[in-house]
Amino acid sequence: MYAVTAIKPAAAPKKYEVTCSNCNLRELCLPHGLCAEDMARFEHVVYARRRIKRGEALFAAGDEFKAVYAVRSGFFKTSLTDGEGREQVTGFFMGGELLGMDGIGTGRYNNASIALEDSEVCVLPYALIEKMAAEMPSLQRHLHAVLSREIVRDHGVMMLLGSMRAEERLATFLLNLSKRFTARGFSPSEFHLRMTRDELGSYLGLKLETVSRLFSRFHDDGLIEVQQKHVRIRDIAGLTQILAMRH
């Protein structure tokens, strides 16, 4: 694990004109599946957008839970820091995904959320979401689906760290990124990694040297091409085969 540099607090949210119905991420976000009338009502919940500069914190671990945040643009990591200042990365989030759901049960955020590039989020006050969900069955169903998705995500990370070999962990991560970029209309095979190798190693439970060695090996095997943080997957079937070898 690695020492954490000082985190700058983000600026306060500002009011912008927000139109969920015209957002190109609406199929991935919380309002997904709402009818036009319910969508119009939900837009009143999204009371502000918040712009977060690279390196700034959207929220810190232990902050009071008041809202969940829909990533409108950019990329975030979530992490925990121990008493000695060592960081454990717990997740990476991109456009259309929700941050802060871990605070629902305890009333405080369990992780810190840091922007890995200049980003923008929509602020969704949770008290208003709960109130509206009680009046809109479609929103309530989707809220439950989102919570279930977070549970599945956590279970997947536990499987990743608990039972997979090092090469399986990196292959799984790259394939998952490919699927997430595809869902957003981007290339499934070419993308830019916003996280450092240190941060990726922390998330995958691998040493920095192991992550670098695996990237080089995947490159030499013709599975990927790597130029600094730019990754091009040349053989998705080959990456998938790495996971099939465990069975």
Are 14 and 134 members of one domain? Answer: yes
Are 128 and 14 members of one domain? Answer: yes
- Report pLDDT digits (tens) over 174-209: 999 999 899 888 888 999 999 999 999 999 999 999
Are 128 and 181 members of one domain? Answer: no
Question: Mean pLDDT throughout 85-89?
Answer: 89
Distance of alpha carbon 46 from alpha carbon 83, whole angstroms = 36
Are 124 and 52 members of one domain? Answer: yes
- Higher model confidence: residue 11 or residue 153? 153
Are 114 and 182 members of one domain? Answer: no
Distance of alpha carbon 145 from alpha carbon 246, whole angstroms = 30
Are 100 and 53 members of one domain? Answer: yes
Q: What SS3 class is residue 1?
A: coil
Are 116 and 200 members of one domain? Answer: no
Distance of alpha carbon 179 from alpha carbon 6, whole angstroms = 33
Are 11 and 123 members of one domain? Answer: yes
Read off the DSSP letter of residue 23. -
Is pLDDT at 4 greater than 60 in this prediction? Answer: no
Are 13 and 114 members of one domain? Answer: yes
pLDDT at residue number 77: 97
Task: Show the domain range for 60.
Answer: 2-138
Residue 145 within a domain: no
Contacts 24+ apart (CB under 8 A), 177-181: 178/233, 178/236, 180/94, 181/94
Distance of alpha carbon 93 from alpha carbon 111, whole angstroms = 13
- Report pLDDT digits (tens) over 218-237: 999 999 999 989 999 999 99
- Predicted model pTM: 0.82
Q: Tokens 């091409």 identify what position?
A: 225
User: Where residue 187 sits, what CATH number does that domain have?
Assistant: 1.10.10.10
pLDDT bracket for residue 27 (50, 70, 90): low
Are 120 and 186 members of one domain? Answer: no
Residue 171 within a domain: yes
Are 132 and 181 members of one domain? Answer: no
Packing angle of the helix pair 137-163, 126-135 (nearest 10 deg): 120
Residue 150 within a domain: no
Are 178 and 225 members of one domain? Answer: yes
Question: Mean pLDDT throughout 66-88?
Answer: 91
pLDDT at residue number 6: 53
Residue 190 within a domain: yes
pLDDT at residue number 17: 53
Q: Strand pairing of 112-115 and 190-192? A: unpaired
How many domains, the chain? 2
Question: Mean pLDDT throughout 4-31?
Answer: 58
pLDDT bracket for residue 15 (50, 70, 90): very low
Is pLDDT at 146 greater than 70 in this prediction? Answer: yes
User: Where residue 80 sits, what CATH number does that domain have?
Assistant: 2.60.120.10
